[in-house]
Structure 1
Amino acid sequence: MLTSIRRLLTIIALAGMVMVSCGPEPRYHKKRSIEGRITLSGAFALYPMTTLWAEEFRKLYPEVEIDITAGGSGKGITDVLSGMVDLAMVSRDISAEEEAKGAWKIGVVMDAVVPIISSAHPLADSLLNKGLTPRQLQQIFVKQSLTQWNEIFSVPSSEMMINVYTRSDACGAAEMWAKFLHSRQEMLAGVGVYGDPGITIAVKNDPLAIGYNNLIFAYDLKTKRPFSGIKILPIDLNENGRIDVAENFYEHLDSLQHAIQDGRYPSPPARMLYFVSKGKPKARAVHEFLKWVLTEGQHYVLASGYVPLPNDQRLTELSKVRLIIKPLHRHKAKDSLNH
């Protein structure tokens, strides 16, 4: 699934690179040549976007090698803090403990986690029309006090057990979903499944399932609609027992992206995605890659199923990179004088 998504991202992004933002757009100025190697690991949520960014960046700088591995935010943080990779892909907040160990973050894009059910769910129509409230989702995923689907709508039928699926790996999706439910990942109930693709497959094949996924593993980027076999479960945010017009933005990916941008879809489970290094990165190739991602790289974001950073946020993140580069320039100048 990861390979097919990566190919589709390239096709869609090249067909039309659109960006929604306000104010002057930051620009990238290409350097004559850059060499080096950049290694990244971490969040499944950021893997497809990072892969596309890497492919496009290498068109400018073919002498730069970029190696990317998906394995969850937790693995990315472990790898970067141990010095195994240059950058971690992280889809959650950075903890104070991680910052104390040297974690340095830069926001690169936004996305969200959404609840999903099987298209074959016997109560699919009712669930799509009425949704579930945050309190009901908490009762299912955390408190485990709501265990039967027929209890939700008082359906006179035999028992319909709610089969809950959660992530088995330390990941940003689970952490943000738990945070939305006022909990922690380790407190989420359900059968543990590894990775976003695993959750999609498990829910698709179980008519009584409920799970959660990152946007790009919930929506087909070609049709901009949910993947075949799953439905996005609307959240009844105002808890009035129905999905109002203002809450009805799940059928098409474009609608949900706009809802994330304007705040109608709450944060969490909407969130910022980060690149994280151990201390401020020192390699020139990494600097240029980060600058490019925050400028030209943002052109690929919407078409790829993510939400671009607002320009003021991009400028803030860019300032972090530029503050790193200036001291490096001074060190290089000093070294040349000494020689």
Structure 2
Amino acid sequence: MLQPTRAISRGLCSSILTPEQKASDSNSARKERRMSIWKPLLGAVKRQTQLAACLILSPLLLSACGGGAQPAVPAANAAGGATVISISGAFALFPMVTVWTEEYAKLNPNVTFDVQAGGAGKGMTDVLSGAADIAMLSREARQEELDQGSFLVPVTIDAVVGTFNADNPHVEQILAHGITPEEAHRIWISGETTTWAQWLGTGDERINVYTRSDSAGAAEMWAKFANGEAQEELQGTAVNGDPGLAEAVRQDALGIGFNNIGFTYDPTNGTPNAGLLVIPIDLNNNGQIDPDEAFYSTRDEITQAIADEIYPFPPARVLYLVTKGTPSPAIQEFYRWVLTDGQAFVHDAGYVALTQERLVDALSLLNDGQ
């Protein structure tokens, strides 16, 4: 199991721009601002990827890679006037929550955060057992989780995308043909499609299919896109974590998988990470990717397609922060900041903002929970 990545505490130099400033903002300035937001995260993500590579190469290397997972520290404790809030869960939300917690702590130096990524399922287990204060959730809550008192607050939107190795011998055909939910079903769920020829009409090599081994919102969203219902329906070689799955596909020229967009695109330049490409979705089911369906070259393009609801839901989805029962006053204050001033960091972190109506509803939810 991958060791959860702890959020690192360094200053972020992000600037909040007015609409007029955004309109005149140059590409170079936008790139510099994105670098300032993501630079503190790159080391943490790199360590996740290195751990994943070790685990893929050999289980015997686990101890050399850093050992097992460390439990989240129960929080929302006040000691000497300081408040500590622990957050555990989805890889999908980890980069965004790290930005939010770093920025909030600047404004509130008496509040510190312990943020760990280990999958949506782990986050929900941690929060419902009292091992963490907040869970990062990248799927809808299950009834049994609601029955235990889960209190969900929507905070942003992102998506899962299909991925394949950039050195795949059929790269041109994949990009030209794309994938439909039915084709994804035959590859990941029913197992009817096992070769590239069966999918694309070219190449008799076997498709090497990868999925997630940890309980993951990304896997559930991909299963639902593929006309399934649950992560357990997905077939393929199971790999732990977003970084692990991406690394597995990068190491396999005939491999395909899926990832949250935060682990698919390079945060410094907005293009797909080295060694990965995105499988486009054939939205109109005509057997080809039309110009208006080709929006995967940069992170900005796909996030705009998500915001415009061109990219389908699922595998796009709302992301939540979750507590067991009504959030404590300290957590409510953090939530209110996330839903107001914190939204200024969403776009440059590579996520999609909630609509104003949804933000108002979320704030009302907090007021009702008091």
Equivalent in 189, 203, 216 of residue 171 of structure 1: 216
Q: CA RMSD in A?
A: 2.2
After superposition, the Cα gap between the structure-2 partners of 1:107 and 1:226, relative to the gap in structure 1 and judged at 3 Å, is same
Q: Which residue of 2 aligns with 1:129?
A: 176
- Alpha-carbon distance, 1:198 to partner: 0.5
Equivalent in 255, 260, 281 of residue 235 of structure 1: 281
Alignment of 1:46-125 (within 5 A): 46-125=93-172
3-state SS in 2 of match to 1:227: coil
3-state SS in 2 of match to 1:36: strand
- Alpha-carbon distance, 1:5 to partner: 10
3-state SS in 1 of match to 2:154: strand
One-letter code of the match for 1:81? Answer: L
After superposition, the Cα gap between the structure-2 partners of 1:318 and 1:195, relative to the gap in structure 1 and judged at 3 Å, is same
Matched, 1:194 2:236: no
- Alpha-carbon distance, 1:306 to partner: 0.7
Q: Which residue of 2 aligns with 1:141?
A: 188
3-state SS in 1 of match to 2:222: helix
Is 2:158–2:261's contact at 8 Å kept on the other side of the alignment?
yes
One-letter code of the match for 1:276? Answer: V
Matched, 1:304 2:349: yes
Seq. identity, %: 44
- Alpha-carbon distance, 1:180 to partner: 1.3
> Whole-Å Cα distance in 1 between the matches of residues 332 and 232 of structure 2?
35
After superposition, the Cα gap between the structure-2 partners of 1:18 and 1:103, relative to the gap in structure 1 and judged at 3 Å, is farther
One-letter code of the match for 2:346? Answer: V
After superposition, the Cα gap between the structure-2 partners of 1:3 and 1:77, relative to the gap in structure 1 and judged at 3 Å, is closer
Alignment of 1:255-274 (within 5 A): 255-274=301-320
3-state SS in 2 of match to 1:140: helix
> Whole-Å Cα distance in 2 between the matches of residues 238 and 300 of structure 1?
33
After superposition, the Cα gap between the structure-2 partners of 1:188 and 1:263, relative to the gap in structure 1 and judged at 3 Å, is same
Is 1:232–1:250's contact at 8 Å kept on the other side of the alignment?
yes
3-state SS in 2 of match to 1:304: coil
3-state SS in 2 of match to 1:75: helix
> Whole-Å Cα distance in 1 between the matches of residues 255 and 112 of structure 2?
41
Is 1:134–1:237's contact at 8 Å kept on the other side of the alignment?
no
> Whole-Å Cα distance in 1 between the matches of residues 193 and 11 of structure 2?
38
> Whole-Å Cα distance in 2 between the matches of residues 122 and 178 of structure 1?
26
Is 1:9–1:221's contact at 8 Å kept on the other side of the alignment?
no
3-state SS in 2 of match to 1:303: coil
> Whole-Å Cα distance in 1 between the matches of residues 11 and 260 of structure 2?
15
Q: Which residue of 1 aligns with 2:340?
A: 295
> Whole-Å Cα distance in 1 between the matches of residues 310 and 6 of structure 2?
30
- Alpha-carbon distance, 1:223 to partner: 1.2
Equivalent in 302, 316, 323 of residue 368 of structure 2: 323
Is 1:176–1:268's contact at 8 Å kept on the other side of the alignment?
yes
- Alpha-carbon distance, 1:196 to partner: 0.4
Q: How many equivalent pairs are there?
A: 306
One-letter code of the match for 2:163? Answer: I
3-state SS in 2 of match to 1:305: coil
- Alpha-carbon distance, 1:322 to partner: 2.1
After superposition, the Cα gap between the structure-2 partners of 1:166 and 1:255, relative to the gap in structure 1 and judged at 3 Å, is same
Is 1:43–1:172's contact at 8 Å kept on the other side of the alignment?
yes
User: Structure 1 unaligned runs (5+)?
Assistant: 20-33, 326-339
Deviations 1:190-238 (A, max 9, x none): 0000000001111011110110000100001111110011100101121
**Larger-gyration structure (1/2):** 1
3-state SS in 2 of match to 1:98: helix
Deviations 1:33-75 (A, max 9, x none): x841211101011111111110000011001121111111111
3-state SS in 1 of match to 2:342: helix
One-letter code of the match for 2:354? Answer: L
Normalised to the residue count of structure 2, the TM-score between the two structures is 0.79
> Whole-Å Cα distance in 2 between the matches of residues 217 and 290 of structure 1?
25
3-state SS in 2 of match to 1:121: coil
3-state SS in 1 of match to 2:194: coil
3-state SS in 1 of match to 2:348: helix
Is 1:9–1:52's contact at 8 Å kept on the other side of the alignment?
no
After superposition, the Cα gap between the structure-2 partners of 1:17 and 1:186, relative to the gap in structure 1 and judged at 3 Å, is farther
- Alpha-carbon distance, 1:96 to partner: 1.4
After superposition, the Cα gap between the structure-2 partners of 1:163 and 1:259, relative to the gap in structure 1 and judged at 3 Å, is same
3-state SS in 2 of match to 1:293: helix
> Whole-Å Cα distance in 1 between the matches of residues 261 and 11 of structure 2?
13
Is the deviation greater in 177-186 or in 226-235?
Answer: 177-186
